[in-house]
Amino acid sequence: MPHIAIPIPSGPGKQEIEIDMKINGKQQQIHYRVELFYWSDCDIPKVSRVECVRSILTDYDQDWMLYFIGEPTEEFIPIIFVKKQEWSEQRRLVQQP
């Protein structure tokens, strides 16, 4: 699927992003959520950051799905989620002839 990169200002905590677009002439709105998860907040020992990310994803709101995992730093890892229902609709619209 093609991608469009849209720079967004970075900041601490959670950012809600709403994008209105037309796909094949049909209006659609997509919601993204960008969150910074701090390693220090993870209950799992620091040697297992993979387990920390796995725990974050497993326990996350089930209305949202993983979209992208950003480059981790020593302090945090940025993770982007997308609304499941809207993502399914977007994929259906893109695949229509």
Q: Could you read off the pLDDT of 21-72 as tens digits, one per residue?
A: 777 777 888 888 988 888 888 876 656 888 889 988 998 999 999 999 988 9
Whether 19 is in a domain gets the answer: yes
Whether 5 is in a domain gets the answer: no
CB atoms inside a 10 Å sphere around CB 57: 14
Cα distance between residue 90 and residue 29, in whole Å:
9
Whether 3 is in a domain gets the answer: no
Q: Domain range holding 71?
A: 14-95
Whether 43 is in a domain gets the answer: yes
Cα 29–65–57 angle (5° rounding)?
A: 150
Whole-number pLDDT of residue 1: 52
Q: pTM of the full predicted structure?
A: 0.76
Whether 2 is in a domain gets the answer: no
Q: Are 34 and 47 in contact (CB under 8 A)?
A: no
Q: Do the bridges between strand 64-69 and strand 26-38 make them parallel or antiparallel, or are there none, so unpaired?
A: unpaired
Whether 7 is in a domain gets the answer: no
Whole-number pLDDT of residue 79: 92
Whether 1 is in a domain gets the answer: no
Number of structural domains (the chain) is: 1
Whether 9 is in a domain gets the answer: no
